[in-house]
Amino acid sequence: MVHSTISLPQRFLNWLRSWEGLLLGLFLVVLTINSALVPAYLSVSNQVNLFILFIEKSIIALMMTFIIINGEIDLSVASLMGLSAGTMARLFELGAPSGLAVAAALCLGLICGAFNGFWVTVVGLPSLVVTLAGLIAYRGLVWVLVEDRSITTLPAWLCELGQKPLIGPFPLALLLFFGFAIIGYIILQYSGFGRLVYVIGINRDVARYSGVNVRRVKMILFIASGFIASLAGLLYAARLGAMRSSTAEGFELDIITMVLLGGVSIFGGSGSLRGVFLSILIILNLRNGMGLAYLSANVQTGVIGLLLILSVLVPNLVSSLRARMVRHRELTRALEMAESS
């Protein structure tokens, strides 16, 4: 019984390490199959396209990792993407300078994030409910703003940024994604703030009684989430050169899928940005390979779904198996000791 208290965090660490190891293995398998079977897969343009097609979701998934590890959820991100794109497009259409339109959309992201944060931290409502309301309300606002049409008059420089490479073959959004991934990794894994994100996620009440300013941390996370979502909305509109009221509808589920497959516990407190980064790589490369192999969209959805089911089952199965093996080993040792005495 004595060493089990020592081995519990050790085992937890092992599990984390092995889950990420599994993801890495899976990624290598996908990589090998793709490059063996699909001739165009390894071309630079395809490698860039593969990220660009899902880049906005990937950027938000990095932020969502913080939120879910913290024990919360933000379902309003996709609606906020639409609202931000709609605000920018509508303002620009009405004659506002392009810089002002973009800044206003980003500010609106901060405000909506703070609005979500207010209800969660000050009023104390569950984030599932608050951001579900946000999902509906922000989308409703887009419909009021844009109605049943598409806006194609977007700032030319914004579309240029969204559609043309900025450095080498890489467009802005791709550079932002890798930048955010590195910054996010450092903050979450090596900073005091990152540790607070975990501590609160493991047990909110214990954290509060230990003097952690839980409200402040959560508020910062929701504001950041709002900002990142509105930035992603602008990037999406810029990439497509147009927006509609339905822009980015339903993206939140894909984003949460990326995070959960990365080994982040939906109950908070565990997971890492490394795992989520790997999971993004797996999903993107898998979709790309299946798409290039002309697999039907229904099959693709099925495969990703299967992957998610496995990602929920395997860790549970592994930990219960391991517990049984430990018990078995202890039992045999006890028997041996009994026999020798």
Partner 1 sequence: MRKLSTAFAILVMVSMVMALAPAAMAQGPVKATPGQAVKMVLLPKFLGNLVFDQAHEGALEAAKELQNPEPLQFLGPTPQDSVAGQIEIVTNSVTQGVDAIMLSNNAGDQIAPAAKAAREAGVTFVTWDSPIPSAEGEQVFVAQVDFNETGRVMAEMALNILGPEGGKFAVLSASPDAANQNAWIAALKEVLKEPKYSKLELLDIVYGNDISEDSYNQALALVDKYPEMKLIMAPTTIGIAAGAKALQDEGLCGVEGQEPKVVISGLGLPVEMVSYTLNGCAPQFALWSFRDLGYLTYYVTYLLATGAIKGEIGERFEAGRMGVYTIEKDPTREKGLRVLMGPFTIYDKTNVEAEAK
Which parts of this chain interact with partner 1 (CB under 8 A)?
A: 40, 43, 45-46, 49, 53, 148, 150, 152, 159, 163, 239-244, 246-247, 250, 287-288, 291-292, 294, 296-298, 301
- Retrieve residue 166's tokens: 């900025």
Give the Cα separation of 34 and 281 in Å (integer).
13
Choose between 18 and 300: whose C-beta lies nearer to partner 1: 300
Task: Using DSSP bridges, classify how beta strands 150-151 and 243-244 pair: parallel, antiparallel or unpaired.
Answer: antiparallel
The answer to whether the beta carbons of residues 30 and 37 sit under 8 Å apart is no
Nearby residues of 211 by Cβ (< 8 Å), 6 or more positions away? none
- Retrieve residue 107's tokens: 């500010």
The answer to whether the beta carbons of residues 73 and 252 sit under 8 Å apart is no
Choose between 132 and 293: whose C-beta lies nearer to partner 1: 293
Choose between 24 and 53: whose C-beta lies nearer to partner 1: 53
Choose between 209 and 294: whose C-beta lies nearer to partner 1: 294
Choose between 4 and 301: whose C-beta lies nearer to partner 1: 301
Give the Cα separation of 49 and 52 in Å (integer).
5
- Retrieve residue 100's tokens: 């002002």
Shortest Cβ distance from residue 166 to partner 1 (Å)? Answer: 16
Q: Count other Cβ atoms within 10 Å, centred on residue 182.
A: 12
CA dihedral 70, 73, 78, 79 (to 10 degrees): -120
Shortest Cβ distance from residue 39 to partner 1 (Å)? Answer: 9
Shortest Cβ distance from residue 24 to partner 1 (Å)? Answer: 25
Choose between 153 and 189: whose C-beta lies nearer to partner 1: 153
Shortest Cβ distance from residue 17 to partner 1 (Å)? Answer: 34
Q: Count other Cβ atoms within 10 Å, centred on residue 121.
A: 22
Amino acid at the residue 329: R
Q: How far is CA 208 from CA 69, 211, 288, in A?
A: 16, 5, 45
Question: What does residue 263 show for φ and ψ, rounded to 5 degrees?
Answer: 90, 10
Choose between 139 and 204: whose C-beta lies nearer to partner 1: 139
Shortest Cβ distance from residue 241 to partner 1 (Å)? Answer: 5
- CA neighbor of 31 nearest in space, from 55, 20, 48, 47: 47
Shortest Cβ distance from residue 46 to partner 1 (Å)? Answer: 5
Shortest Cβ distance from residue 129 to partner 1 (Å)? Answer: 23
Choose between 26 and 238: whose C-beta lies nearer to partner 1: 238
Shortest Cβ distance from residue 292 to partner 1 (Å)? Answer: 6
Give the Cα separation of 70 and 64 in Å (integer).
10
